[in-house]
Structure 1
C-alpha cells in the first residue's frame, strides 16, 4: 500500500486541509478501480465501510491477490468533516457558498469537441486518446477556492479509472444504488452482493454528481461521435447509498465491505474464486419513475411503513398529525414499488420532502436529484 496526501487550496492564512489517498496493487495494471467514501461528509456508514475495506485490501495485497490498481479515498471531504453549527454536523453543503459537495462537477464538454477532431477508427486507441484529453483539460484548470480544489483533485484521482464506486448514505434508507443504463449490466452483480432494495437508472440526473461526471461524459461522447470514430466506454460509475446515517455498525459495514470484495473478485480485479451471485432482490427502475413524496400540511410526522418495504399504489405511507386540531392527513403512494428512503425529521412543514418510492414508468424530467 502507498499512502499519499494531497493538499487542498488553503482558504485562509493559517489553515490547511488535505486528501488522504491509499493505493493498492500494481500501479500500471490494465485495470484501475477508484473507490471513495463520504463526499457528503456526514454520511458516516460509507466511511466505516471504507475503513473495513482498506483492512481487507491490505491483507489481500500481502497475499498478492490484487490483479488491478485500486485507489481508495476513505474520507473524500475533509472540508465538510470540519463543519459543525451549534453541535449539528453539516457535511452535505459547504457553509461558505451553500454548494452541495456532490453537485456540478467539472463537465468535460471541451474534450468532446477536441475528440471529434482527434479520434480515429480504433475504439481502444480512441479511449486512450480521450483519457489523455481529459488529463490535459484537468491540468489546464486552476481551482479558485478550496471547494473547487476538492472537486478538482477528486477528478484527477479518478478520471482514468475503469470503475468508479462512490459510497454515500441517505437519512433513513434501505441499501440502494444509482447508475446509468449503460452501467447497469456491469453493476447488477454488485446490486446482488450488496442486497440492494432499489437500483435507480438515469443517464443524466441533472445534478452533475461525481458518478455522472464520469459516466455521463462517456455516454455524451459516444452520442456525439460519428460512426467512423467509435470509442469504448472509459469509466463505469455508480453511487452506492449505504442505507441511513444512523446505520453505523461493524456488522453492517462488514457486510458491505465484503460485498465490494466479492464484486471485485467477480470483475477479476482481485484473484480468487467467484462467490455465487445472490438473487437480485428488486429489478432496476428508472430514476425518473421514482415518486417524490411531500407533506401537504404541517404537523407531527408518523411513519406507517418501514424503509425497504414493498408498497402498493394507494397504500398509506405517512400520517401528519396537527397537534392543535388533532386532524390527521395521510400521504399514500401513487406507485407500486419500494419505499427506499425517507427523511429523518419527525415534524414537517407544508411542502417538506418526506421520502421516495420506486416506479417503473418515467414520469419526471429535469433535475431528478434532491438539493
Structure 2
C-alpha cells in the first residue's frame, strides 16, 4: 500500500497553512521522484499525476514495483492560492516577483568540501545520496516559498530520477535535459511521444532540475560516477496550458510509466520498444525567442510544430492605433527549425516574447548559463 505524508510550510498569514503532499509507492531498489504544478498556472501535469497515482496503486497491488516511486501531486501550494480577480498568476511569486522555478538552493560548495574530506568509491550511489542529504542538513528557510524550494530539492536528491512536469502557454510536447544524460532524455522522449529534446550544460536561473543535475555533475566531474549511474533530471513540457484533457493525460501518464519500466522500476514486458527515429535534439543555445516588433494583435502565419526557415514569415503584428490601411509589422524566423511555442494571448506589447523557435545550430549571443527566460 502507498504511504502518504503532509509537509507543513511556514505560515504566510495568521490563520492560514500551506502543505505539500507526498505519496510513496514501492520500496527499495532505484527510485524516481515526479512532481507537477511548480508553476501553479500550468495544469496539464496536475491531471497527469492523478492518472499516475491510480496506475501506481494498481501496479503496487499487482506486485510489479521493483523500485520506489515518490509523487508530489502539487509542488507549489502557495502559487495555487494566488488569485487576482479570479485569475491565477502562478508562474511568479506575487510577494517579490520571483519565478517559482528559479533560485533553488545550491549545495555544490558543501558537496565539494565533503568530497575532499572522505574516501569515496566510484558509483557508490547510496553514499552519494548521503552526501547530498548532509549538504542539505541545514535549518529550513523561515519563509514559505523558500522553504518549499528547500523541501522539493531535498526530496529530489533522494532519488535516481527526477521528472518535473510543466507546460508552455501553447506548445508541442518537448523536454529539457542535460547533455550528460542525452540517451536517457531520448528514452523519456520516445516513451512519451516527444519529438523535440533540448539539451544544455547549464541553462541558468537555477531551476529545480538544474539544482539536482549540478549536484550529480559535481561528482561526475570528479570521476566518481559514470553516466550509467548518474542521477537523471528532466523537465517534461506537456504542451500548452489549455491541454488538460483526460485522454491526453492518461496517455502521458502511461508514457511516463513506460519510461520507468524501461529504467527497471516496474516489472513486466514493455508494451512497445522505445523508438528514437522521429526525435530531434536541439541545443538550448539554438532556441530563439520571438519578440513583437510593435504593439498590437498577433496574427500567426505558422502553427506550433510546423517547420520554419530563416527569413520566413512567422507572424504579423496588427497595430490598433495607426491610420486605416497601415502596413502590418512582420515577425520572421532567424533559424531553420520548428515553431515550438506560441503565446496564447494575442494582444502583444512591443518587445514582448510571443513565441519560441528551435534550430539545430547555436545562435550568436546565446550564452551557457543565461539560456532561460524569466
Same fold (TM over 0.5): yes
**1:121 to partner: Cα distance:** 5.5
Gaps of 5+ in 2: none
| Alignment match, 1:319 | 316
| Alignment match, 1:140 | 138
**1:41, 1:91 within 8 Å by CA — same for their partners in 2?**
yes
Measure the CA separation in 2 of the matches of 1:24 and 1:321.
53
Measure the CA separation in 1 of the matches of 2:332 and 2:87.
31
**1:128 to partner: Cα distance:** 3.5
Q: Does 1:156 align with 2:148?
A: no
Aligned equivalent of 2:298, options 285, 298, 301 = 301
| Alignment match, 1:334 | 334
> Which of 355-364 and 76-85 deviates more?
355-364
Could you say what secondary structure the match of 2:40 adopts? coil
Aligned equivalent of 1:131, options 119, 129, 132 = 129
Measure the CA separation in 2 of the matches of 1:346 and 1:167.
25
TM-superposition CA deviations, 1:218-270 (whole Å, max 9, x none): 223432x3x5xx23454210000000000010111111011111111111110
| Alignment match, 1:18 | 19
| Alignment match, 1:188 | 186
**1:187 to partner: Cα distance:** 2.1
Could you say what secondary structure the match of 2:99 adopts? coil
Measure the CA separation in 2 of the matches of 1:280 and 1:247.
25
**1:320 to partner: Cα distance:** 0.5
**1:83, 1:89 within 8 Å by CA — same for their partners in 2?**
yes
- 1:105-116 to 2 correspondence within 5 Å? 105-116=104-115
Q: Calculate the TM-score normalised by the size of structure 2.
A: 0.93
TM-superposition CA deviations, 1:147-190 (whole Å, max 9, x none): 11101111221112100000000100000000001112112111
Measure the CA separation in 2 of the matches of 1:15 and 1:121.
45
**2:35, 2:71 within 8 Å by CA — same for their partners in 1?**
yes
Measure the CA separation in 2 of the matches of 1:262 and 1:270.
8
Q: Does 1:45 align with 2:39?
A: no
| Alignment match, 1:98 | 97
Gaps of 5+ in 1: none
**1:195, 1:281 within 8 Å by CA — same for their partners in 2?**
no
Measure the CA separation in 2 of the matches of 1:120 and 1:208.
29
Could you say what secondary structure the match of 1:58 adopts? helix
Measure the CA separation in 2 of the matches of 1:56 and 1:337.
37
Measure the CA separation in 2 of the matches of 1:113 and 1:216.
12
Aligned equivalent of 2:172, options 171, 174, 179 = 174
Measure the CA separation in 2 of the matches of 1:2 and 1:115.
32
**2:220, 2:230 within 8 Å by CA — same for their partners in 1?**
no
**1:19, 1:76 within 8 Å by CA — same for their partners in 2?**
yes
**1:141 to partner: Cα distance:** 3.4
| Alignment match, 1:286 | 283
Measure the CA separation in 1 of the matches of 2:103 and 2:135.
16
| Alignment match, 1:235 | 231
**1:303, 1:319 within 8 Å by CA — same for their partners in 2?**
yes
Measure the CA separation in 1 of the matches of 2:166 and 2:373.
14
| Alignment match, 1:369 | 372
Could you say what secondary structure the match of 2:254 adopts? helix
Q: Cα gap change, 1:65/1:128 in structure 2, threshold over 3 Å: closer, same or farther? A: closer
Could you say what secondary structure the match of 1:98 adopts? coil
Measure the CA separation in 1 of the matches of 2:22 and 2:126.
24
**1:66, 1:269 within 8 Å by CA — same for their partners in 2?**
yes
**1:359 to partner: Cα distance:** 1.4
Could you say what secondary structure the match of 1:67 adopts? coil
**1:193 to partner: Cα distance:** 2.1
Q: Calculate the TM-score normalised by the size of structure 1.
A: 0.94
